[in-house]
Amino acid sequence: MDSQDLQVLAAVRRWRAEGHRVALVTVARTWGSAPRPAGAWMALRDDGRVQGSVSGGCIEDDMIARMLDGRIAGSLPFVLTYGVTREEAGRFGLPCGGTLELVVEPAPDHGLLADLAARLEGGQLVRREIDLADGRVRIFDACRGEALHWDGQRLATLHGPHWRLLIIGAGQISRYLASMAQALDYAVTVCDPREEYSVEWDVPGATLVAGMPDDVVMAMAPDPHSAIVALTHDPKLDDMALLEALKSPAFYVGALGSRVNNTARKARLLEYFDLSEDEVGRLHGPVGLHIGSRTPPEIAVSILAEMTAVKNGMSVARPEPASPASAGCGVR
Average pLDDT of the residues in 16-28: 96
pLDDT above 70 as % of the chain: 89
> What band does 71 get if pLDDT is binned at 50, 70 and 90?
very high
Q: Which residues contact 325 (CB under 8 A, 6 or more apart)?
A: 258, 259, 260
My answer on whether 195 and 301 are in the same domain is yes
Same-domain check for residues 106 and 173: no
300 shares its domain with 267? yes
Helix axes 235-245, 213-220, angle to 10 degrees: 20
- Of 32-46, 57-71, 84-98, 296-310, highest mean pLDDT: 296-310
CA dihedral (65, 17, 157, 222) in degrees, to 10, reads 130
| Choice between 31 and 223, residue whose per-residue pLDDT is larger | 223
Q: Are residues 83 and 176 in the same domain?
A: no
CATH code assigned at 257: 3.40.50.720
Same domain, 176 and 300: yes
CA angle, 57 then 129 then 14, to 5°: 55
The answer to whether 83 and 92 have CB atoms below 8 angstroms apart is yes
Give the number of other CB atoms < 10 A from CB of residue 325: 15
Q: Alpha helix locations (H) across the chain?
A: 4-17, 58-68, 86-91, 110-121, 172-183, 195-198, 213-220, 235-245, 259-272, 277-281, 296-311
Q: Mean pLDDT throughout 10-22?
A: 95
Average pLDDT of every residue of the chain: 89
pLDDT digits (tens, 9 = 90+) for 282-325: 999 999 999 999 899 999 999 999 999 999 888 877 665 544 44
Q: In angstroms, rounded to a whole number, what is the distance separating the alpha carbons of residues 215 and 117?
A: 33
Q: Which of 163, 112, 151 is nearest to 9 (CA)?
A: 112
Assess if residue 169 is contained within a domain. yes
For residue 71, the enclosing domain spans 4-159
Per residue in 118-156, pLDDT (tens digit) is 998 888 899 999 999 999 999 999 987 788 999 999 999
What's the rounded Cα separation, in Å, for the pair 330 and 332?
6
Confidence label for 273 from pLDDT (cuts 50, 70 and 90): confident
Domain boundary among 106, 133, 159: 159
**Residues 129 and 209 grouped into a single domain:** no
Q: In sequence order, what are the beta bridge partners of 85?
A: none
Residue 105 has pLDDT above 90, yes or no: yes
Is the Cα dihedral 113, 114, 119, 121 positive or negative?
A: positive
Of 10 and 32, the one with more pLDDT: 10
Please state the domain count of the chain.
2
